[in-house]
Structure formats: C-alpha cells, structure tokens
Amino acid sequence: MSQPEIFIDIYNHVMPRPYLEKVQQLSKDAGMVKRMTNLRLLWDIEARVAMLDEKFPQVQQVLSLCVPSPEMLAGAEQSPELARIANDGMAQMCRQWPHKFPTFTASLPMNNIPAALEEMDRAIGELGARGVQVLTNVNGRALDHADYLPVFERIANHHRLPVWMHPLRPASKADYVDEEKSKYEIWQVLGWPFESSVAMSRMVFSGLFDKVPDLKLITHHCGGMLPYFGGRAETLWAQIGSRSADGAEADVLKNLKKKPIDYFKMFYGDTVLGGSTGALKCGLDFFGPEHVVFASDCPFDPEEGPMFIREGIRSVREAGLSAADMRKVCCGNAFSLLRLVDGASVAVGEPAP
C-alpha cells in the first residue's frame, strides 16, 4: 500500500519563550512550572525543528499552546495580553520555519469573551491562525454555558474554521472526597480523557450542534472515553430521565434534532493514543476515517519529543486502512478542516481563503 507523502500533525504543543516567562512568574502550580521549564522541545524550537528534519521529514506540525492557558494564569484584565504573547510567538515560529509549521491554532482569553472574540479575529485575520483552542472547562466552568456560545458561533459561522478542545483536570481535584488531591497522576492519565468525554456530553445535550450546526470540533485523545463506551452511551442515553427522581431530563431528547450518538460522531478525534493500534481502530470505527486526524502530542512522551510521532505513525500504518482512508487520516482531513492548499504550506500572516 502506498503511503501518503505528508503527515499533518494537527495536535502538538509549544510554549513561546516570552509566554514561558509569564508562566514562571504567574503560575501557582509548581509542578506544572517544573514540567514546562524542563521540557526542552516545548520552547527550544530550533531543537524541535532539528529533530523533525532529522527523524520525520514527512511531518508538518500545526502548533498549539500547551497548558496553562491565559485564563488559568490571570484575571480578565491581564489574560488578553497573555493570549497575544502566545499567538505572536506561535506565528513567529510559523514564519521562521514554514516547512515544518504551516500554521497554528490561536489561544484565547476565555475569561474575557469580548477580548477572546477580538483576539480570535486578530490571530486568524492578521497572524494566519487556522482555528482556536479551548480547554474542556474555563477555570472549572462548563463550556456549554451561554457566555461561551459567541466563541463557537464566531469561529464556525464567520471564520469557518475548527476548534481544538484540550482536556484539563488539575491534580488538586481529588479522586475521593476524603483525600486532598489526586494520587499517582490519575488526574491526568485517566482524568483528562474523562474531562473530554464530559465536555463533549454537555455540548451534545445542551444542543450546541443544533445552535451551531457548522461547528467543527477536534477532541484530543480520539474522543476520550466515547469510542470505547459508544454502545453504552447509545443505549443508556436513549433512556435518559429514567434514572432521575423527577424525570425532567427525559425532555432533553425531545429537544434534540438527532439521536445523541449521532451528535457524538460529529466531533473529530485525533490519533493521540500512545501508539495503541487497537485503541485507534476503536476510534476509527466510532468516528469513521473522515473524522479522525493524525496528531502526536509532541513533546509529552518519555523521549520528550520523537516517541509519540514515531509510534503514532506506526499505529496509523498498522490500522488496516485503505490507501484513500490513510491519506484522509494523515493529511486530507487536516487540509479540509483548516482550508489549507492540499500538499502545500500556508503563508502565515494571510487570512484563510
């Protein structure tokens, strides 16, 4: 089977040095600061490019900011400036190394929605971003809150570009009520896919896709729990309200235009599954090859850079895809979602066509 000429790594992470300095100054999470500071390929972009050129000449990366996001670091007055610093830094990386970084997804100050809309327009219109990134919650607040609807409406209806949704669950969120914090990094390894699944569910049942039918939303880690628990989700949510004392939630299904499972399949899932071919097959079966995009989560792997790219490519090649579906997953779906010219890097700084 012929292989695609290019892999578009649609979900990986960077931290521009000026933004890292702000994280070091403002973050109260010492563990996070330690992790970000010590992870060289996160902020040493020259080293990142050298690694990619040497090991993965066929890979181009669409850059996104890693956690913490602007609203996690500062209040509504300061967070817009942090978002500008992050987006300016990523745009500069794309201008300097266009053969490796064709574009980026903009970070937004989600605790200041007027500023978030302004920064979205600036990052896309002036810097050449091809979408926006949000976390699965805004400082603990659900994304299906009415305050955030303008963000989804603007990106889908005006810019016609996708949303990247990154999971977030802090270590301070204990696994059990009688404990002060999560143990054994359960909060991240298992907690983040759970948070993605919760956010997806809230979007579905709040009717977000009926309100914004053109919304394209990319989930990290291939939709979290949903592909594996798709059958459970479909059959039990078909009975929603039957387990509630007052039965009020039974009206939810009446207000949706489709079955819940059909909305879940409207999301896109990336291939960030630690290189597990079996898990990827599950995701492909659930979303279909048209709604799966290649991604690596670089540089958050035990080798701090190359491992997740290498193992991600291997898992896609072992998934039994046809040549046509292989191309969709590795680059075709990304070209379509980001409205990039097939096989060519976008000129960062120009608005989307």
Give the amino acid at 148: Y
Give per-residue pLDDT as tens, 56-77: 999 999 999 999 999 999 999 9
Give per-residue pLDDT as tens, 230-268: 999 999 999 988 887 777 788 899 899 999 999 999 999
| 345 domain residue, yes or no | no
Strands, sheet with 103-104, edge to edge from the N-terminal-most edge strand: 7-14, 59-65, 103-104
| 153 domain residue, yes or no | yes
pLDDT of residue 350 exceeding 60, the answer is: no
| 31 domain residue, yes or no | yes
Contact 329, 271 (CB under 8 A): yes
Report the CATH number that the domain containing residue 98 is assigned in CATH. 3.20.20.140
353 pLDDT tier (thresholds 50, 70, 90): very low
CA angle, 167 as apex, 349 and 91 as ends, to 5°?
15
| 99 domain residue, yes or no | yes
Residue 249 CA to its chain's centroid (Å) = 29
Kindly report the pTM of this predicted structure: 0.94
CA dihedral 83, 89, 345, 157 (to 10 degrees): 10
Paired tokens of 351: 């608005």
| 41 domain residue, yes or no | yes
Give per-residue pLDDT as tens, 171-188: 999 999 999 999 999 999
Structural domain for 224, as ranges:
7-338
Considering only 72-81, 135-144, 234-243, 274-283, which range has the smallest mean pLDDT?
Answer: 234-243
| 198 domain residue, yes or no | yes
Paired tokens of 43: 């902020």
pLDDT of residue 141 exceeding 50, the answer is: yes
Q: Which of 164, 99, 78, 94 is nearest to 127 (CA)?
A: 94
| 353 domain residue, yes or no | no
Domain count of the chain? 1
Q: What's the average model confidence in pLDDT over 225-229?
A: 97
pLDDT of residue 342: 59
pLDDT of residue 4: 59
How far, in Å, CA of 271 to CA of 311, rounded? 10
| 348 domain residue, yes or no | no
